[in-house]
Amino acid sequence: MSDKISLRATARLARATFVAAPHPPIRVDARFVALLTPGMIVASYVPIGSEADPAPLEQAALAAGCTLALPHVVDRATPLSFLRWTPGSGLQNGPFGLRQPAHDGVPVAPDVVLTPLVAFDGALNRLGQGAGHYDRAFAAFPGALRIGVAWSVQRIDGLTADPWDVPLHAVATEQEWITA
C-alpha cells in the first residue's frame, strides 16, 4: 500500500514535469479507430491537473459515429456512473475538482472506457487515484474495452497488481499505441 502511495507520488511528479514543457497531444492510432463502430458508447473523461487530455480520441470516436459518455462521481465510496454527453453540453463541478454532467443525465453502459491513470506498466496494469472507481466500473462492465490514456512518462515497469486490478487492453500515449 505504501508502495502504491510512493509510486503515485513519483508518477504524478513525472506527469507534472512533462506537461510543464511543450508536448504533442495524445496520438490517435489507426488501431484505435479500427475498434470503433457507429453507435458505440465511448466513455471519456474531463482531464484534471496534468492528466493526459483524451480530446483527440473523443474526436475520432465522434467521427466514427460513436456516442460519448462521461463519468459521474458522488463520493469516494459510491460506484461511478457513466452519463451520456454531447460536446458543448453543460458540465458541473463535482468532487475532487472534477467537471462532470449533472446527476440527472442518462446512464449508459460503455462499450469503450477511455481511462485516466496515474501510472501503467508494460503488462497494462494500471495505478489510479486509489478510490477504486475504475476498478469497480471494470467489474461492472466486463465486456467494455479498457483503453488507458496517458503521457509516455507515466510508464513505470513492474507495478504489482492487486487481486481486484483489471488490466487494460491498450494504452494510448502521445507517442504510441501500447498493447500487452
Ligand X SMILES: Nc1ncnc2c1ncn2[C@@H]1O[C@H](COP(=O)(O)OP(=O)(O)OP(=O)(O)O)[C@@H](O)[C@H]1O
Ligand Y SMILES: Nc1nc2c(c(=O)[nH]1)N(C=O)[C@@H](CNc1ccc(C(=O)N[C@@H](CCC(=O)O)C(=O)O)cc1)CN2
Q: Given the rule CB under 6 A, which residues bind ligand X?
A: 4, 127-136, 139, 162, 164-165
Closest CB to ligand Y among 110 and 116?
Answer: 116
Q: CA-CA distances (angstroms) from residue 78 to 68, 70, 152, 154?
A: 22, 16, 30, 27
Residue numbers 133-172 binding ligand Y by CB under 6 A: 133-134
Closest CB to ligand X among 21 and 77?
Answer: 77
Q: The C-alpha cell of 43 is what?
A: 466513455
Partner residues linked to 92 by β-bridges: 100
Does the footprint of ligand Y cover residue 128 (CB under 6 A)?
Answer: yes
From 26-34, 55-63, 123-131, 167-175, span contacting ligand Y (CB under 6 A)? 123-131
From 39-47, 60-68, 82-90, 151-159, span contacting ligand Y (CB under 6 A)? 39-47
Q: CA-CA distances (angstroms) from residue 133 to 24, 68, 141?
A: 28, 19, 12
Contact 89, 127 (CB under 8 A): no
Per-residue binding letters, 79-98, with ligand Y (x by CB under 6 A): -x---------------x-x
CA separation for the pair 109, 141 (Å, rounded): 7
If contact means CB under 5 to 8 A according to the sort of partner, which of ligand Y, ligand X, none does residue 139 touch? ligand X
